[in-house]
Amino acid sequence: MVRAAAFFSGIAQFERDLISERVRSGLSAAKALGKSLAVRSAST
């Protein structure tokens, strides 16, 4: 059972890395197009 947990943990880490790479790529593409990347503040 420990091996299965380690296996799925490795897959989850790989998936997180892919997501991070896609986000960085998207942000750099948006920045290249001149989009504003500022986080909007929550209005209260």
Helix H or strand E segment including 32 = helix 2-32
Which tokens go with 40?
A: 């909007």
pLDDT one-digit tens code per residue, 2-28:
799 999 999 999 999 999 999 999 999
0.85 exceeded by pTM: no
Q: Would you say residue 30 has pLDDT above 90? A: yes
- At 36, is the pLDDT very low, low, confident or very high (cuts 50, 70, 90)? confident
pLDDT for 4 equals 92
pLDDT greater at residue 33 or residue 44:
33
pLDDT for 44 equals 60
Cα-based torsion angle of the residue sequence 20, 26, 31, 32 in order, rounded to the nearest 10 degrees: 130
Q: Cα(37)–Cα(44) distance, rounded to whole angstroms?
A: 21
Q: Cα(16)–Cα(12) distance, rounded to whole angstroms?
A: 6
